[in-house]
């Protein structure tokens, strides 16, 4: 056989194989295999406990193949404190040997070492980037990141993450390119709180649900407007802000953290309208969403909200938010999600609705504060969703605090709504429809 015929034969075989894979798995799966990075993104909602073996074991497992290829027994973790203002603070958080009068837990070095990792501190903080020799462009520091199999972006200030790891024109610094390189070659990039926010592009946050709905206008800030002396701040009190992020997540995904406890469902819906993204990923504390090759799986203590706007309609950007048929799912440990088609798989037994009524909240987004500034009604939206899926009621309407905001929320079951429950891993709620308006839903003025 001639060289030309061998090439044609090989091309025909490859095209035939591609056609078979597309027929079996679908084009989204082919795209994931052909073009997606080989690594895993881990989105932690903040408040990660040192004894959360479920998440930490899953991180080690996700990095195990790369460790085997590179001959590493314990995954090396690049601990990236670019959300911190100064290196001394980061070193203290990294090197603290045990609990003290200010902290309940040991530092990152002790914690991660005890969990089976080999942690290294990456000295990129606001002061090393802006007041010294720009550590984010240091080839030796980038090489240190490149030597790791896991990258851990810490909590703190997500705006600080952005201005430290991105250049003024929005392009990637050398350290960010090294982080992306770890992900591309099959490693893990893990963020917690601010570190989860910054994985998206744009990233989003800084506000409260009620004001974001009422103001109805997302405040976009350019990187060049943010400096160590001029931090990210909304012009309107309580409003939300967007800023360029690291773009490791797909371009149709927006993240939010500390989700249920701080009632951030409303602000995430507002952000999805104003950024035009389809998927909102709201992650609870001590909980993580693992994303690998186009599939997501939940690990940890609480839940991950998957907010889908594919069938939603909204008021125009710049107007107070009105929304119809936003689909909300609440997934818990072991549940998986496919962003290509929105499918959820759960091994939990299906719920058979039993109770007659649902407790109605007047603080669905957990805005009320206690005297010590804690949330008076944490996980209010979570409770209503779980009560409704366990109820014979078809819908429930709730209020947003304060009452003077005149914001109303309704959750409705559809033909696609279902739920599951397990005594070990909690409730799952899939495809509940959510409406937001400035009028009561039982009013004649309410327009469907």
For the chain, 448 residues long, the average pLDDT of each consecutive 10-residue run is: 42 40 38 66 97 97 97 97 96 86 82 97 96 93 98 95 95 98 98 97 92 92 87 90 96 97 97 96 98 96 98 92 97 97 96 83 94 96 95 93 89 97 93 92 48
**DSSP result, 147-180:** T-SEEEE-SS-HHHHHHHHB-TTSPBPHHHHHHH
Distance CA 224, CA 125 (A): 18
As given in the structure block, the two tokens for residue 269 are 């819906």
Distance CA 411, CA 396 (A): 6
Predicted pLDDT at 442 = 60
CATH value at residue 182: 3.40.50.880
Confidence (pTM)? 0.90
Predicted pLDDT at 9 = 43
Q: Give the single-character DSSP code of 355.
A: B
Predicted pLDDT at 344 = 98
Contact 41, 151 (CB under 8 A): no
Distance CA 191, CA 183 (A): 13
- For 52, the domain range is 36-298
Residue in this structure with the two tokens 């959510």, named with its chain if needed: 434
The number of beta carbons lying within 10 Å of the beta carbon of residue 11 is 10
As given in the structure block, the two tokens for residue 432 are 């509940």
Distance CA 267, CA 250 (A): 20
Question: Is 85 within the bounds of a domain?
Answer: yes
Predicted pLDDT at 11 = 40
Predicted pLDDT at 440 = 77
Predicted pLDDT at 36 = 67
CB burial of residue 392 (10 Å; 0-12, 13-18, 19+):
exposed
Distance CA 91, CA 104 (A): 17
Question: Is 390 within the bounds of a domain?
Answer: no
Contact 244, 166 (CB under 8 A): yes
Distance CA 29, CA 26 (A): 6
Q: Any idea of the CA torsion for 228, 229, 232, 233, to the nearest 10 degrees?
A: 160
Q: What residues form DSSP beta bridges with 150? A: 77, 188
Predicted pLDDT at 48 = 96
Distance CA 362, CA 402 (A): 8
**DSSP result, 379-433:** THHHHHHHHHHTBS-SEEEEE-SSGGG--EEEEE--TT-EEEEETTTEEEEEEEE
Question: Is 12 within the bounds of a domain?
Answer: no
How far apart are the two ends of the chain, measured CA to CA in Å? 68
Rg of the chain over CA atoms, in angstroms?
23
Distance CA 112, CA 77 (A): 8
Distance CA 189, CA 43 (A): 9
Give the closest residue to 90 by CA, choosing from 55, 51, 127.
127
Distance CA 95, CA 323 (A): 47
Question: Is 380 within the bounds of a domain?
Answer: no
Question: Is 23 within the bounds of a domain?
Answer: no
CA distances from 140 to 137, 144, 149, 319 (A): 9, 6, 17, 49
Question: Is 109 within the bounds of a domain?
Answer: yes
Predicted pLDDT at 101 = 60
As given in the structure block, the two tokens for residue 18 are 């591609």
Question: Is 8 within the bounds of a domain?
Answer: no
Question: Is 330 within the bounds of a domain?
Answer: no
Instruction: Provide the number of structural domains found in the chain.
Output: 1
Helix (H) or strand (E) holding 57: helix 53-70
Give the closest residue to 56 by CA, choosing from 212, 338, 290, 311.
290
């Amino acid at each position: 056989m001639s060289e030309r015929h061998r090439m044609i034969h090989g091309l025909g075989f490859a095209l035939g194989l591609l056609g078979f894979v597309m027929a079996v798995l679908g084009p989204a799966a082919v795209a994931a295999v052909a073009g997606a990075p080989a690594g895993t993104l881990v989105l932690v909602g903040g408040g990660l406990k040192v004894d959360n073996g479920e998440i930490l074991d899953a991180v080690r497992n996700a990095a195990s193949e790369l460790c085997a290829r590179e001959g590493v027994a314990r995954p090396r973790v690049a601990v990236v404190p670019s959300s911190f203002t100064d290196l001394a603070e980061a070193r203290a958080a990294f090197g603290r040997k045990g609990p003290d009068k200010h902290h309940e837990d040991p530092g990152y070095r002790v914690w991660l070492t005890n969990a089976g990792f080999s942690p290294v501190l990456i000295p990129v903080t606001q002061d090393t980037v802006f007041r010294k020799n720009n550590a984010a462009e240091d080839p030796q520091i980038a090489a240190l990141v490149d030597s790791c199999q896991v990258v851990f972006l810490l909590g703190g200030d997500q705006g600080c993450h952005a201005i430290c790891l991105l250049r003024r024109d929005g392009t990637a610094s050398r350290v960010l390119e090294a982080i992306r390189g770890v992900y591309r070659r099959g490693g893990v990039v893990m963020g917690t709180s601010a570190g989860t926010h910054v994985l998206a592009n744009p990233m989003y946050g800084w506000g409260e649900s009620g004001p974001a709905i009422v103001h109805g206008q997302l405040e976009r800030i350019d990187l060049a407007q943010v400096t160590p002396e001029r931090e990210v701040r909304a012009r309107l009190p309580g409003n939300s802000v967007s800023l360029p992020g690291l773009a490791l997540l797909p371009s149709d995904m927006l993240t939010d953290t500390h989700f249920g406890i701080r009632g951030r469902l409303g602000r995430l819906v507002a952000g999805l309208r104003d950024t035009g993204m389809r998927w909102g990923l709201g992650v609870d504390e001590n909980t993580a969403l693992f994303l690998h090759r186009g599939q997501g799986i939940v690990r940890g203590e609480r839940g991950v909200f998957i907010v889908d706007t594919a069938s939603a309609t909204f008021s125009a950007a710049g107007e107070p938010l009105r929304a119809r048929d936003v689909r909300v799912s609440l997934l818990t440990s072991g549940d998986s999600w496919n962003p290509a088609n929105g499918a959820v798989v759960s091994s939990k037994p299906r719920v058979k609705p039993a109770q007659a009524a649902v407790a109605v909240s007047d603080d669905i987004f957990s805005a009320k504060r206690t005297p010590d500034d804690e949330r008076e009604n944490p996980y209010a939206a979570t409770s209503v969703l779980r009560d409704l899926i366990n109820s014979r009621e078809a819908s429930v309407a709730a209020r947003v605090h304060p009452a003077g905001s005149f914001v109303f929320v309704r959750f409705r079951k559809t033909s696609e709504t279902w739920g599951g429950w397990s005594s070990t891993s909690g409730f799952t709620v899939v495809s509940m429809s959510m409406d937001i308006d400035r009028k009561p839903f039982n009013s004649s003025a309410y327009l469907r």
